[in-house]
C-alpha cells in the first residue's frame, strides 16, 4: 500500500486472478519476443509460480497463445467500439479517432511475433477472418458516414470501398509481406488508408 493509503501497483497485481496474471505476462512476452522464444519455464519464473500452476489454467502453450490472441482481438474490438461510439461530427475527425485507436493496438505487435506467425498459417487464417469482420463493420460505418457528410464520394459504392480496403489489408497486413517490406504494422496500415483515400498522385496547383 502506498503512503497515501491507496493500494500500490504490486498490490493490484496480487489481487488479479492467477489466470489473468499468466495471460497478461504471456501477452507482453509473446508479442515482444515471439511466442516461439518464450517458454512456460520463462513465464513461471517471472510470475514466481510453478509450471503446475500454469498448466492448471492453460493446459498447453498453444492454449495460452490462443487465449492471448483472443484477448488481443477483444482489446482491438473494444478500442474500435469506443472510437466509433464517440460519434465525431465529421468524417476526418472520425477517421482520426479510429486510426489513433488502431495504432495503439498495432504498436504491441513486434517483429519477432510477426516472424513466428509466418510459421503458424492456420492461426493467422483465423485472425484474418476475425479482422475482416471488424473492418467491414467499423470502416463500413465510417465510409457511410463520410458519404453522408460529403467527405467521401457518393458515386462509389461503400461496399466496394470496404472490400477494396479489406483486399489491400489481406495483401499487405500479413507477416510475410510486412517482413518483406520491413514495415511496422501501424505504419503499413496508416499507409494503406492514406493511399486508398488520397491516392498516390501529387496534385499540383496552377498551370501545367
Q: Which CATH number fits the domain that encloses residue 41?
A: 1.10.10.60
Residue 1 lies in a domain: no
Total structural domains in the chain?
Answer: 2
Identify whether residues 74 and 119 lie together within a single domain.
yes
pLDDT tens-digit profile of 107-137?
898 989 988 988 888 888 888 899 999 999 9
Q: What region does 192 belong to: left with phi over 0, alpha with psi -120 to 50, or beta?
A: alpha
Q: Say how far apart CA 1 and CA 9 lie, in whole Å.
A: 8
| pLDDT given at position 69 | 94
From 58, 24, 28, select the one nearest 40 (Cα to Cα): 58
Count of CB atoms situated within 10 Å of the CB of 30: 26
The pLDDT of residue 4 is above 60 = no
Domain span at residue 53 reads 9-57
pLDDT tens-digit profile of 27-36?
999 999 999 9
Identify whether residues 135 and 160 lie together within a single domain.
yes
Count of CB atoms situated within 10 Å of the CB of 25: 20
Mean confidence (pLDDT) of the chain: 87
Q: Say how far apart CA 49 and CA 16 lie, in whole Å.
A: 14
- Unique residue bearing C-alpha cell 467491414: 136
Identify whether residues 45 and 147 lie together within a single domain.
no
Domain of residue 114, CATH code = 1.10.357
From 172, 31, 40, select the one nearest 114 (Cα to Cα): 31
Contact 46, 58 (CB under 8 A): no
Q: Say how far apart CA 50 and CA 41 lie, in whole Å.
A: 8
Residue 134 lies in a domain: yes
What would you report as the CA-atom Rg of the chain, rounded to the nearest whole angstrom?
21
Contact 123, 69 (CB under 8 A): yes
Those residues with Cβ within 8 angstroms of residue 148's Cβ, 6 or more apart along the chain or in another chain: none
From 35, 62, 172, 175, select the one nearest 118 (Cα to Cα): 175
Q: Say how far apart CA 25 and CA 94 lie, in whole Å.
A: 33
The pLDDT of residue 74 is above 90 = yes
The pLDDT of residue 55 is above 50 = yes
The pLDDT of residue 208 is above 60 = no
CA 114 to chain centre: 12
Beta strands in 107-188 (DSSP E): none
Q: Say how far apart CA 6 and CA 27 lie, in whole Å.
A: 27
Identify whether residues 31 and 131 lie together within a single domain.
no
pLDDT tens-digit profile of 80-106?
888 888 777 788 888 888 888 888 888
Amino acid at each position: 500500500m502506498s503512503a497515501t493509503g491507496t493500494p500500490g501497483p504490486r498490490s493490484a497485481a496480487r489481487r488479479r486472478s492467477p489466470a489473468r496474471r499468466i495471460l497478461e505476462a504471456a501477452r507482453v512476452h509473446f508479442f515482444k519476443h515471439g511466442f516461439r522464444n518464450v517458454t512456460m519455464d520463462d513465464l513461471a519464473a517471472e510470475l514466481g509460480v510453478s509450471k503446475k500452476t500454469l498448466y492448471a489454467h492453460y493446459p498447453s502453450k498453444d492454449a495460452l497463445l490462443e487465449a492471448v490472441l483472443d484477448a488481443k482481438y477483444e482489446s482491438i474490438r473494444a478500442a474500435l467500439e469506443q472510437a466509433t461510439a464517440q460519434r465525431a461530427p465529421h468524417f476526418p475527425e472520425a477517421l482520426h479517432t479510429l486510426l489513433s485507436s488502431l495504432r495503439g493496438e498495432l504498436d504491441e505487435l513486434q517483429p519477432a511475433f510477426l516472424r513466428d506467425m509466418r510459421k503458424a498459417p492456420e492461426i493467422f487464417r483465423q485472425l484474418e477472418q476475425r479482422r475482416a469482420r471488424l473492418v467491414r463493420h467499423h470502416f463500413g460505418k465510417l465510409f457511410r458516414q463520410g458519404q453522408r457528410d460529403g467527405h467521401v464520394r457518393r458515386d462509389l459504392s461503400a461496399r466496394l470501398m470496404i472490400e477494396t480496403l479489406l483486399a489491400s489489408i489481406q495483401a499487405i497486413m500479413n507477416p510475410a509481406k510486412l517482413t518483406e517490406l520491413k514495415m511496422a504494422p501501424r505504419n503499413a496500415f496508416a499507409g494503406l488508408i492514406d493511399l486508398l483515400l488520397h491516392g498516390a498522385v501529387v496534385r499540383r496547383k496552377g498551370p501545367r
